[in-house]
Amino acid sequence: MAKEKKLVEAITSMDVDFAQWYTDVVKKAELTDYSSVKGCMVIKPAGFAIWENIQAELDRRFKETGVENVYMPMFIPESLLQKEKDHVEGFAPEVAWVTHGGLEPLQERMCVRPTSETLFCDFYAKDVQSYRDLPKNYNQWCSVVRWEKTTRPFLRSREFLWQEGHTAHATEEEAEERTQLMLNVYADFCEEVLAIPVVRGQKTDKEKFAGAKSTFTIEAMMHDGKALQSGTSHNFGDGFARAFNIQYLDRDNKLKFIHQTSWGMSTRVIGALIMVHGDDSGLVLPPRIAPVQAVIVPVQQNKEGVLEKAFELKDRMSGFKVKVDDSDKSPGWKFSESEMRGIPVRIEIGPRDIAQNQAVFVRRDTHEKLTVSLDEITERLQELLDTIQSDMLARAKAHMESHTYTALNMEEIKDTAEHRPGFIKAMWCGSQECEEKLKEEAVITSRCIPFVQEHLSDTCVCCGRPAAKMVYWGKAY
């Protein structure tokens, strides 16, 4: 029993030290491990299984909108990267360079892709000739490298996994439609599958993607009130096309530049899953993304018929992702381990339960126990998983709403930022000068200009001049 107690005590309380709590959960749930490659993580089977589920669900949703998967090289020649000025300047501090091939210095150094816009542009310049070749709705699943100074598992590492969509269109209207379509795919995925509510909106010019005409974002709130940018979609207009001379012959027999988009979601969303839903017992996974939806723990498994009944139940629940923990650990240890790993439902079955034709369901999210007849076990499991999924989203929404505040002047926004972690809704005049001042004095950044606007006042929270937009502000990961 001492070991069982130690397992739970090994997690720092989130109210004591949220950053340490996060690290403890990532380690104890065996999602990642440290690597000999500084700033990079080993994603262990439990962590990678979550990413595989994310990948499968997103990939399905992408393809429903007409997206096809491709793969581009991981190296980008320096001359290619330099073609779009704003883009290269935005990524220059984070680029990792390859200077040698074997023992020989390269004639031209190459970067390890931080993102692949330039590679897709180079490809489109050769592949797109006519309006008949458009649109190109492509996506690739890959890893990228950005030489971060400070790293944390999932949230920020020098190499991370993601998908990056890159599309080419004949018109500005088609590109804008695709940009917003993909943002909504991300938002719906977060809310329907990850049970994470998000704010949908546009980034300010200061915060938009390097080289983009406009950037749209979904912003999620973590348990500690900080924001996490969870997915972005960019409209490039024809800026990249002009830099790379990507033209097509239109129906009117005139050469025109294509319009492009780019959109991405990465393993950062696993960090969001942890920080939105986790508790002091460990990970809490929504059923629709959980690699294991239910674990059957046989109690007194050495008694005749107990293990057999556990595996019989597993077979009956073949439509769900169920495992039997038949290890030789004590039931208490198994309970703690299943909680640490965030498995949505624990099913306890022992000799007394078998005699009464029942099992005990334990919800991971609330720890509530339910006695269920074995005759109804499949139907009741489905009902419970659906309830857990909707309850987790409802709780996350309630948390976000209760930690979203309004500020009407500089004094209010500074006080709120210092004492009440969360989102702050405030009016803004649109000037970068005020945005910089809020970052410096209130230590917050603009998260997004939400699509759903509210009129809070007529004046900018910072300078008092006429306001242009309502903005969500906050501290972010």
**pLDDT surpassing 70 at residue 396:** yes
Buried/exposed code over 160-193 (b: 16+ C-beta within 10 A; e: otherwise): bbbbbbbbbbbeeebbbebbbebbebbbebbbeb
The pLDDT score that the predictor gives to residue 87 is 76
CA distance 190 to 287: 13
User: What pLDDT band is residue 9 in, cutting at 50, 70 and 90?
Assistant: low
**pLDDT surpassing 60 at residue 392:** yes
Residues 6+ apart with CB under 8 A from 243: 83, 84, 85, 121
List the one residue out of 193, 204, 198 whose CA is nearest residue 221. Answer: 198
Scanning the structure block, which residue is given the tokens 């499949």? 378
**pLDDT surpassing 60 at residue 446:** yes
Over residues 105-138, the pLDDT tens digits come to: 999 999 999 999 999 999 999 999 999 999 999 9
The pLDDT score that the predictor gives to residue 2 is 38
Do the bridges between strand 247-249 and strand 358-363 make them parallel or antiparallel, or are there none, so unpaired?
unpaired
Q: What stretches of 374-463 adopt beta strand conformation (E)?
A: 404-406, 423-428, 445-450
**pLDDT surpassing 70 at residue 43:** yes
**pLDDT surpassing 90 at residue 86:** no
Mean pLDDT across the stretch 261-285?
A: 98
pLDDT, the chain, mean:
95
User: What pLDDT band is residue 6 in, cutting at 50, 70 and 90?
Assistant: very low
Over residues 199-211, the pLDDT tens digits come to: 999 999 999 998 8
Provide the whole-model pTM: 0.94
List the one residue out of 155, 164, 156, 286 whose CA is nearest residue 222. Answer: 155
The pLDDT score that the predictor gives to residue 90 is 78
**pLDDT surpassing 50 at residue 171:** yes
Asked if residues 280 and 274 have their Cβ atoms less than 8 Å apart, the reply is: no
Q: Which fold has domain 404-474?
A: Translation Initiation Factor IF3 (3.30.110)
The pLDDT score that the predictor gives to residue 91 is 80
**pLDDT surpassing 90 at residue 440:** yes
The CATH number of 14-277, from 3.30.930.10, 3.10.20.740, 3.40.640.10, 1.10.760.10, is 3.30.930.10
Scanning the structure block, which residue is given the tokens 């309630």? 398
CA distance 27 to 25: 5
Scanning the structure block, which residue is given the tokens 């972005």? 232
Amino acid letter, 321: K
Domain boundaries, the chain: 14-277, 294-387, 404-474
User: What pLDDT band is residue 4 in, cutting at 50, 70 and 90?
Assistant: very low
CA distance 103 to 97: 16
User: What percentage of the chain exceeds 70 in pLDDT?
Assistant: 98
The pLDDT score that the predictor gives to residue 29 is 97
For residue 300, how many C-alpha atoms fall within 13 Å in the half-sphere facing its CB? Answer: 9
CATH 3.40.50.800 corresponds to the domain 294-387: yes
CA distance 473 to 476: 9
